[in-house]
Structure 1
Amino acid sequence: MSRHETHEEAALSLPERYADPKQKLVRARSIRAIAQYVRLLRGNAYTESRFRALGTQQAQFAEQDGFASPLFADDLLTSLAHDGFTDFQIRQMGSTTLLTNHRSRLASVLSKPVSPRQLYEDLHEQHLHHYDQIWTYRLLHIDAKGCIAEARPRESVSELFKTKHVGSRRMCLFREGVYAAVLGHISSRLAKTAETECVFLGDSRCLYHMSWD
């Protein structure tokens, strides 16, 4: 720690594994959603202990529109899975974004559509390219009952997938929950979601089926 660095700043600094600015590719609010869900189940002390086990703390991810390393998100989910959290619960962590986005600009925009179809069309046409900097999202089919969407690694990060660990299937489970939660902006229920293809299982894309009827 330098002479000008406070103890608080030192505590908040990220380990080298997560600090590369070129790999800050996912929204920090995703990590806050994970933390909020874990706090509800296990309390703040336990949640903070999971962050400290990875060399940081929750306050590091407080910036509303900041970005973070996907390695941290995946390491955090892996740590929680090893501690007993199930795939179902990881999906629910994704659904918690409905709460963490509650007062955001995105939430105010997503609350305007009058139908699920319009909501998911607007999501893919106008907003998902801001969600992270790893994936390109595309709506393949939509009707009054549901939709099918794909996520492919962006060309700008394709080399990362070949040379570095950038995530795992758990991140896709989390994204299933995010997709489900979108419906909650205009409805009292969540969409049913299922991933049928996954990059982390050897497929060329991640494919999501959503239904709301």
Structure 2
Amino acid sequence: MNKKITHLGAFAAAIALTGGLCAGSASAAVAAPVGGTAVAAHSVDAAYSFSASDPQAQFHKAVHLLEPYVKRQADGTFTVNAPKSVVSAIPANVNQTIMTSMGKVNSLIKSGELTSTSNKNVYVSGHKAAYKIQSGNDFSTHWWGVELDLDSETTNKVEGLMNAGAGGAALAALLASEGIITSPGAIPTGVASAIMWMGAGVVQACSNSKGVSVYMTWAGTPWCSGY
């Protein structure tokens, strides 16, 4: 996730939460708690200062800071026990976004829709070997959300689908045909539809000569950057 984030006014609220990704999800996920007691002195890297004018970059920086303190539990769910010095360095709304997303992924893990791994990735249950890096393309699922990296050729194909008004099923089928995933069912429920919601104009504005990267939390709106 160490890519330069494209500044898009249309996505200034990209980390504001929307409905859950599962079909039929009616209630918001309960946020997982952050440990309130400092477990050790920790100096926050000055390079990870936050700017209120760049919410996408805020999210990426916050994930970087919290990553060492995310633990996978015996039941496959995740918890965060970051020291106060780390939590206080993250804007409250960004921290809440991440915690709500973690609450959502934990709910999906408990329901059996998703399964987590020891390296803190997750996958659709029954599709463990579903994701492959293929010619610069990559689809990955993490404790914080989803990342889709597309090269320029595949980005153009996705934009074509968007311009044609295609839905999430068409995107899942395209990713499967490109060898990025093993089958359309490997994409978690709602993720492909949420990505298609962005529209070709936004994806085109995000993309550079190499392609585009699309991100989304487990309970939020997608946003994008140049690959």
Q: Which has the higher helix share?
A: 1
- TM-score, L = length of structure 2: 0.25
Structure ranking higher on relative contact order (CA contacts 8 Å, 6+ apart): 2
